[in-house]
Amino acid sequence: GSGGAEGREIPSGEAEAEEFACPAHCTELSWRQNEQRRLGLFCDITLAFGGSAGPGSAPASAPAQPLREFRAHRSVLAAATEYFTPLLSGGFAESRSDRVELRKWSSEGGPDPETVEAVIGFMYTGAIRVSPGNVHEVLELADRFLLTRLKEFCGEFLKKKLNLSNCVAIHSLAHMYSLNQLALKAADMIRRNFYRVIQDEEFYTLPFHLIRDWLSDLEITVDSEEVLFETVLKWVQRNPDERERYFENLFKLLRLSQMKPTYLTRHVKSERLVSGNETCVKLVSEAVESHALRAENLHSGNLQHST
């Protein structure tokens, strides 16, 4: 060229390259691929969601649950989560067939189809509407599909919704899905309000290991130790066939020495689960004895003082 600068820099090849990045393009791309999915365009895989007919259940006795099917793109699923990467590209049967069956969910018939649709939509677009009504299933799906960010969002969502009527359920969920911060916050609320929490039916749906943890917790607030005995009884009675075997373990956690002697002799000792268990009977006797000894000491002490 004839050249000339006109007071500005002259281009000098690759040194003047520029990066152009357009995040809006990614977002639009995602939403359009999601739209294609809804229309069934270019889909190459079917996700089939259904009840818990795992390999363990006999196909003859348990009638096959109808599976809910969702068409999708392997490419998007594999890009959205590592859950699908090996499943779709590796040596699994699913990578050759065009169908993945997803069973074994917390609810009998598998997650609600609307929630599944929303979570698949999240895999495509990174956006989802979470409500108190769907957050449990969203969390279950997010956990299964390794959608870490969505799991964390559910944790934050539940943290904001935490109150006395749901803290037991939320603590249990948080435990199940390793949402540690949420678990800590829910546990703190439970501890500080234990006397109210145990009036709630939800508490009696907890598994043994959580009931054991709560009775071992030194910071739970209750009016009296007697209340805890009744709580243990009530928990066992909700499902005696399953839970009676845990009674001794839980009973050992009670601080019998803090119960009144009349309560021990009239209510605890006469309870069938106690009287039928050698260890429990012995613990009650020891508590009653220590009460008696303490009373005697106290009495003689008082006498000594008054002389």
Taking CB under 8 A as the rule, which mask of x and - marks residues 194-223 in contact with a copy of itself? --xx-xxxx---------------------
Cα separation values, 270 from 108, 233, 275, 280, 293, Å:
40, 13, 6, 11, 22
- Alpha-carbon 229 to chain mean position: 27
| Residue indicated by tokens 């000339």 | 4
Told to check if 28 binds a copy of itself by CB under 8 A, we report: yes
- Answer whether 264's CB lies under 8 Å from 287's CB: yes
- Answer whether 80's CB lies under 8 Å from 124's CB: yes
Told to check if 16 binds a copy of itself by CB under 8 A, we report: yes
Comparison of 201 and 223: residue with beta carbon closer to a copy of itself: 201
- Contacting residue, 47, 87, 120, 150, with a copy of itself by CB under 8 A: 150
- Answer whether 273's CB lies under 8 Å from 254's CB: no
Told to check if 231 binds a copy of itself by CB under 8 A, we report: no
**Residue type at 19?**
E
- Contacting residue, 54, 56, 163, 209, with a copy of itself by CB under 8 A: 163
| Dihedral sign computed on CA atoms, order 118, 123, 126, 132 | positive
- Contacting residue, 65, 68, 79, 246, with a copy of itself by CB under 8 A: 79
Told to check if 22 binds a copy of itself by CB under 8 A, we report: yes
* 49: enclosing H helix or E strand: strand 45-49
- Alpha-carbon 22 to chain mean position: 38
Comparison of 103 and 159: residue with beta carbon closer to a copy of itself: 159
User: What does the binding site for a copy of itself look like in residue numbers (CB under 8 A)?
Assistant: 1-6, 8, 10-11, 13-14, 16-30, 32-33, 36, 41-42, 44, 73-76, 78-80, 88-89, 122, 124-133, 149-150, 153, 157, 161-166, 189, 193, 196-197, 199-202
